[in-house]
Structure 1
Amino acid sequence: MHFTGRTWRPPYEADSCIIELTSGCTWNKCNFCSLYKQEAFGLTTLEKFEVDLQEIKSLQPNARRLFLTGANPFALSYETLKPYVLTVRDYLIKCQHIAMFASIRDIKNKDVWQLKKLRAMGVNGLSIGVESGDDTTLALAGKGYTSYDILEQCRKLEEANIEYYFVYMTGLAGKNNGYRNAINSARLFSQLNPYFISIDALTLFSDTKLYTMAQEGIFIPAGEHERLKELQVFIQNLKIRMHLFANSNSNFYPIAAYLPKEREYVISEIEQIMETFTEEEMLSYRDGLKSLG
């Protein structure tokens, strides 16, 4: 298999076959992220892609789900992405889902008819790190789009029947801003239909712009209890039926729930965590995180 640079996939894609389509990130300007800072964006040649597909076929001929690596392979234009997606079926005849990371920016360069064509070719399961639905927080994070863009572009995915997943990040709005971020994000997400929402908690690493801003006093991080209160408010105000997962390494305590059925249970569970563990205990856990892998 040909892999270059950082190879990263979401926890929920652990059972998918992994293949590289791109490397690096087309944006590389998110203030909290340094995953791809040292990598230029690049596209795997179709020849290498086919060699890797042949290897997957030899090991997993009945593979039903394929995850394309790279920070945002969906940034590729429809015409560039099309031959790669079509080639998958030449090798993996039973593959039903071709999933990948995507940004809201990446959807803008595709018309609905193109999205429908990609869906028919098997593209389904876009992991979108929106991080927030609050405009002030999105600007602070350097995401390069607004809440309206999220609404507009995800509705295109829904029209094309492409399944997508959101990542929401607690603590990203900074101290005393978690409530606003949670309310505005829940209000926006409730107008859409993400298949599930995965929760991360902001962890500042020294090679990020947000870390530098914190050192300079420009950004004041939210405390651990405030992050959990933010998560409670977010869950309380989500008005859609979906799965929610807060079980990545960045979360002090793993939580999963199906909303709205388990809403009150998970809110109570978070309350119990805050009553059981001190701010210092939770902060010690976060300070011990060297990476989110």
Structure 2
Amino acid sequence: MEYEGQICRSPMERAAFSLPVTVGCCYNKCYFCNLFKHLQYRELPLDQVEAELRRVSEMGAAPKTVFLGDGSAFNLSSERLLEILALIRRYFPSRPAVNMDATVPSVLSKTQDSLRALSENGVRRLHIGIETGLDDVLALMNKCHSKPQACEAVERLHEAGIIYDAHIMTGVAGKGRGVENAAALAEFFNRTRPGRITNFSMFIHKETPLYGLVQNGKFTPADELENLEEERALIERLEITAAYDGLHDFVPFRLQGKLPSDRAKMLEKLDTAIAAQKKKPPVVALV
């Protein structure tokens, strides 16, 4: 299948078979994001999805994980998702785990019986853009949920037996609020227990609405030193068992590990990076 747009998925899904079932993002209004601005969201026809499954099956593939794309496949109706899950089982009888991106509203829109049925038919993990632990920052970034709504969605996923993985962005709260955001995120994660946390440390592209907020003085970006310090404050406060992957585009640094076993090594690596960054001119992730 020719993949329309750019492939967008968590680095923790790099070994999965990517199966497009939608194009673009059903929300597509977050002020920091330009990944899907050029695409019109739509659902792909079921026969097109089945054709791709047949093609890969006939190649002899037996994936352990299938990742449903694009930006928020869980927005599909429960009925359509169950049809896709049935096709996956038909072409891959080994019953691979099925993961995808989701929004908080896409979880809350489904009944508890539907969530349980999706879990029983193969949905294993949902990647959710939590981004920040601060409600005023969620509003500023024009996210599609509030913190209480995110708590409710995650609680319902746990009850249904679906694991949630969280995406966050150090720097999203702006200059001077890194540690505050880290504390709020730690409180949220200690309560909601994600399986994995992926930190796409913020960079601001000129094509995003957030760039306009910077230009008119309504948002002041944190520099990369503060982003590293925020990441350290978060790791220090987390009291959960989870995998962590932190990616930074504007400084040559990546933090990976498992909590709590790798905490000491992760903090040591952060301390080294912070000390090195303090010796350099300030770097702001602004394109």
Q: Please tell me the TM-score bracket, short chain as reference.
A: over 0.9
Determine helix, strand or coil for the equivalent of 1:67.
strand
CA shift digits 1:81-105 (9 cap, x unpaired): 2211111111111132111111111
Determine helix, strand or coil for the equivalent of 1:128.
strand
Quote the sequence identity (%).
28
Amino acid at match of 1:132: T
Cα deviation, residue 280, structure 1: 4.5
Partner residue, 1:76: 76
**Pairs within 5 Å for 1:210-229:** 210-229=210-229
Partner residue, 2:49: 49
TM-score w.r.t. structure 1 length?
0.92
User: Would you say the 8 A contact 1:137–1:181 is kept in 2?
Assistant: no
Residues 279 and 107 of structure 1: is their aligned pair in 2 closer, same or farther, counting only changes over 3 Å? farther
Unaligned runs of 5+ in 2: none
Amino acid at match of 1:6: Q
Partner residue, 1:11: 11
TM-score w.r.t. structure 2 length?
0.94
Determine helix, strand or coil for the equivalent of 1:202.
coil
Cα deviation, residue 213, structure 1: 0.8
CA shift digits 1:164-207 (9 cap, x unpaired): 21011000000011111111111011101211101111101000
Cα deviation, residue 60, structure 1: 4.1
Amino acid at match of 2:77: S
Partner residue, 1:245: 245
Residues 228 and 117 of structure 1: is their aligned pair in 2 closer, same or farther, counting only changes over 3 Å? same
Cα deviation, residue 2, structure 1: 4.0
Cα deviation, residue 262, structure 1: 2.4
**Pairs within 5 Å for 1:14-163:** 14-163=14-163
Partner residue, 2:259: 259
Amino acid at match of 2:73: P
Cα deviation, residue 240, structure 1: 1.1
Residues 14 and 281 of structure 1: is their aligned pair in 2 closer, same or farther, counting only changes over 3 Å? farther
CA distance in 2, matches of 1:12, 1:251: 21
Residues 176 and 49 of structure 1: is their aligned pair in 2 closer, same or farther, counting only changes over 3 Å? same
Unaligned runs of 5+ in 1: none
Cα RMSD after superposing both structures: 1.8
CA shift digits 1:181-236 (9 cap, x unpaired): 11111101110121110111110100001111111111100011111111111111
CA distance in 2, matches of 1:200, 1:279: 24
**Pairs within 5 Å for 1:143-222:** 143-222=143-222
User: Would you say the 8 A contact 1:2–1:20 is kept in 2?
Assistant: no
CA distance in 2, matches of 1:198, 1:181: 15
Determine helix, strand or coil for the equivalent of 2:115.
helix
User: Would you say the 8 A contact 2:203–2:249 is kept in 1?
Assistant: no
